[in-house]
Amino acid sequence: SHDFIGEFTTSYRELSRGQSQFNVINPKKKGKKKKYVNSGTVTLLSFLIETEVSFLDYIKGGTQINFTVAIDFTASNGNPSQPTSLHYMNPYQLNAYGMALKAVGEIIQDYDSDKMFPALGFGARLPPDGRVSHEFALNGNPQNPYCHGIDGVMEAYYRSLKSVQLYGPTNFAPVINHVARYAASVKDGSQYFVLLIVTDGVISDMAQTKESIVNASRLPMSIIIVGVGPAEFDAMEELDGDVVRISSRGKFAERDIVQFVPFRDYIDRSGNHVLSMARLAKDVLAEIPEQFLSYMRVRGIKPSPAPPPYTPPIHVLQTQI
Q: Which domains does the chain have, with CATH numbers?
A: 1-49 (no CATH), 55-299 (3.40.50.410)
Rounded to 5°, the CA angle 163-168-172 comes to 105
Instruction: Give 191-215 pLDDT, tens digit per residue.
Output: 999 999 999 978 999 999 999 999 9
Instruction: Give 224-246 pLDDT, tens digit per residue.
Output: 999 998 888 888 888 988 878 89
**CA-based nearest residue to 185, from 211, 221, 234, 153:** 221
Cβ-contact 163, 133 below 8 angstroms: no
Instruction: Give 264-296 pLDDT, tens digit per residue.
Output: 888 887 777 888 877 887 888 888 999 999 999
What percent of the chain is modeled with pLDDT above 90? 64
C-alpha distances out from residue 287 to 52, 53, 171, Å: 18, 16, 24
**pLDDT band at residue 320, thresholds of 50, 70 and 90?**
low
Does the pTM surpass 0.75? The reply is yes
Distance CA 113, CA 54 (A): 19
Cβ-contact 223, 209 below 8 angstroms: no
Who wins on pLDDT, 312 or 185? 185
Whether 318 shows a pLDDT value over 70: the answer reads no
